[in-house]
Amino acid sequence: MSSNQQPYDELITELKRISLLGSCASVLNWDRETYMPSGGAELRAEQVSLIAGLEHQWATSPQLGELLENLSQTDLGADDSVEAVNVREAKRSYERATKLPQRLVEELSRVSALSQHAWSEAKQANDFSAFEPWLKQMIALKREQAACLQQTDGPLYDALLDSYEPGMTTAQVQSTFSQLREQLVPLVAKIAEASNKPDRTIVCRSFPVDAQREFSKQMAAEIGFDFHRGRIDVSAHPFCSGFGPGDCRLTTRYDDHFFNMAFFGTLHEAGHGMYEQGLLPEHAGTPMGRAVSLGIHESQSRMWENLVGRSRSFWQHAYGNARKMFPESLGNVPLDAFYGAINYVEPSMIRVEADEVTYNLHIMLRFELEQKMIAGELEAEQIPEAWNETFREYFGIVPASDAEGCMQDVHWSAGYIGYFPTYALGNIYASQFFEAAQKQLGNLDELFARGEFQSLKEWLNKNIHQRGQQYPAAQLVEVVTGNSFSADALIKYLKLKFGSLYHLE
Ligand code: ZN
């Protein structure tokens, strides 16, 4: 490595500079979603777009390309060494960025802003026809983008999926999802027919916002989110933004008559935040100090939200405190009634409100439609009908309006096509990691019931967070669990948990 040391150091300096610029944009975006007065919108758009332009310029500079080209032809040690990983991933990003013509990058960002605005108004008015021309334009632009990025002779959708989940192919997702769907559809039907159902209304009683804020923050700290290196605020759409080592921002939202929203939303974002806080500071700004993919990121949030936060053992520990915080609503509710209420399963229209069992079906529906849009088999004007038909097939119900049907999510208007699968991939990875952690750490339920979350957090730090982008997602799963990527662990977990909760045979 000695002869490469100087160009390698130059590369690291440059990557850190680009990443630092990106983190400035993250601060501005976080502020826009939390504290910025609405009058600041125009100036903020200019600020963010200035930075995005600069970032693209730096990230596609010929000097950077030359540096990467030279380094990738020299010996950098083993494929998974720090140097080899940083060069490999930096080269991958560089090649992607330079494949996109400047005109397309600008057009996508312009149309995305306008289209999101049109979507928001059309959704409010439940008027799909007002959104349709924007969606049509967005689909065309995404097809063009995919064609620029396409590397294989597989479907164009591969290129979009690869933007969010590097290395994962449409075919892989398809086969895993169809295996999952075969098991989920009958499970949902059995649960619907179950005679012994929990009382969901328990979580819809009165939950004062101040107490919710205190309780959810306290539990986020207990599972391991470090509030000395992060904070939580309120935004319309919850998110997590890791600016860099030492500063990770979470947001949530409150409903004083729905316990689940803020509480599980906070655990979810804290799970994302603990990934960001678990990355090694010495690699900050380089691929070795960055999360693997959206799916792996989502595996961390869903693990803390669902596998931990919605487990009975978690509440064996936390319920006493919850009752003290919400004496009027929970004072006379036994633990198991509460546990049933937070895990109530029901086919519903809205993805973000879905339970653990039906959630993945919402994703599969979107994945199916997106592939057709990108393949040119589904035009914008046909989407509402296709949505409703597929919805009926999966859930046995049909949305009453497009606002709670095909227009419910912001993603398509923003150009995030190929993004949805990463949510379900996150659930799949989470179950595989959790199963491996159980094997290595012993009975996690016993630990959770005692309020001991540190062992799991440290296991995740060591096995996932500190590895940065050393391995692509599917390979990371193999390295960590010894098994290949598969929905088996998720299916087993869901059947066991909900079979017992709903007394299914
Ligand atoms: Zn998430």
In a domain, 156, yes or no: no
Task: Say if residue 469 is in the same domain as residue 357.
Answer: yes
Give me the pLDDT at residue 112, please.
86
Task: Say if residue 141 is in the same domain as residue 44.
Answer: yes
Ligand 1: centre distance to CA 153 (Å):
31
Task: Say if residue 424 is in the same domain as residue 340.
Answer: yes
Ligand 1: centre distance to CA 301 (Å):
6
Give me the pLDDT at residue 1, please.
55
What are the start-end ranges of the H helices in 205-334?
209-223, 259-278, 294-302, 312-325, 327-330
- Residue 424 phi/psi, 5-degree rounding, is -75, -35
Task: Say if residue 140 is in the same domain as residue 209.
Answer: no
Amino acid identity at 388: N
**What distance in Å separates the CA atoms of residue 239 and residue 219, rounded to the nearest whole number?**
18
Query: In which region does residue 360 sit, left (phi positive, over 0), alpha (psi from -120 to 50) or beta (all else)?
Result: alpha
Q: How many residues does the chain have?
A: 505
pLDDT of 160 strictly over 70: yes
In a domain, 402, yes or no: yes
Task: Say if residue 90 is in the same domain as residue 218.
Answer: no
pLDDT of 216 strictly over 90: yes
Mean pLDDT of 231-242: 94
Sign of CA dihedral 169, 481, 467, 422: positive
Q: Which two tokens stand for residue 347?
A: 């086919």
Mean pLDDT of the chain: 95
> Is the pTM above the cut of 0.75?
yes
Element of type H or E holding 250 = strand 247-252
Give me the pLDDT at residue 297, please.
98
In a domain, 157, yes or no: no
Task: Say if residue 105 is in the same domain as residue 182.
Answer: no
What's the domain range around 459? 170-501
**What distance in Å separates the CA atoms of residue 34 and residue 31, rounded to the nearest whole number?**
5
Task: Say if residue 128 is in the same domain as residue 257.
Answer: no
Amino acid identity at 390: T
pLDDT of 505 strictly over 90: no
In a domain, 257, yes or no: yes
% of the chain beyond a pLDDT of 90: 88
In a domain, 240, yes or no: yes
> How confident is the model over 381-435, as pLDDT tens digits?
999 999 999 999 998 899 999 999 999 999 999 999 999 999 999 999 999 999 9
Ligand 1: centre distance to CA 273 (Å):
10
Task: Say if residue 78 is in the same domain as residue 124.
Answer: yes
Ligand 1: centre distance to CA 143 (Å):
26
Task: Say if residue 134 is in the same domain as residue 178.
Answer: no
> How confident is the model over 327-374, as pLDDT tens digits?
999 999 999 999 999 999 999 999 988 999 999 999 999 999 999 999
Task: Say if residue 378 is in the same domain as residue 281.
Answer: yes
> How confident is the model over 40-66, as pLDDT tens digits?
988 988 898 889 889 989 999 999 999
Q: What CATH number should be reported for the domain holding residue 68?
A: 1.20.58
Ligand 1: centre distance to CA 276 (Å):
13
Task: Say if residue 89 is in the same domain as residue 222.
Answer: no
In a domain, 161, yes or no: no
431 close to 490: Cβ distance less than 8 angstroms = yes
% of the chain beyond a pLDDT of 70: 99
Ligand 1: centre distance to CA 271 (Å):
8
pLDDT of 135 strictly over 90: yes
Which residues belong to the active site? Answer: 269
> How confident is the model over 15-24, as pLDDT tens digits?
999 999 999 9
Mean pLDDT of 231-245: 94
Domain stops at, among 149, 180, 197: 149
> How confident is the model over 265-286, as pLDDT tens digits?
999 999 999 999 999 999 999 9
Give me the pLDDT at residue 45, please.
83
In a domain, 164, yes or no: no
- Which band of pLDDT confidence, cut at 50, 70 and 90, is reported for residue 103? confident
Please, which residues have CB less than 5 A from ligand 1, an ion? 301
Ligand 1: centre distance to CA 67 (Å):
35
Query: In which region does residue 77 sit, left (phi positive, over 0), alpha (psi from -120 to 50) or beta (all else)?
Result: left
> Is 291 in a helix, a strand, or coil?
coil
Mean pLDDT of 233-262: 95
Q: What CATH number should be reported for the domain holding residue 329?
A: 1.10.1370.30
> How confident is the model over 291-324, as pLDDT tens digits?
999 999 999 999 999 999 999 999 999 999 999 9
Amino acid identity at 75: D
Task: Say if residue 340 is in the same domain as residue 478.
Answer: yes
- Measure Cα distances from 336 to 82, 93, 316, 332 in Å: 48, 49, 9, 12
Ligand 1: centre distance to CA 298 (Å):
5
Give me the pLDDT at residue 38, please.
86
317 close to 445: Cβ distance less than 8 angstroms = no
Domain stops at, among 149, 178, 210: 149
Sheet holding 240-244, edge to edge: 230-234, 247-252, 240-244
pLDDT of 480 strictly over 80: yes
Per the structure, the count of domains in the chain is 2
In a domain, 454, yes or no: yes
- Which band of pLDDT confidence, cut at 50, 70 and 90, is reported for residue 196? confident
> How confident is the model over 447-467, as pLDDT tens digits?
999 999 999 999 999 999 999
Give me the pLDDT at residue 2, please.
56
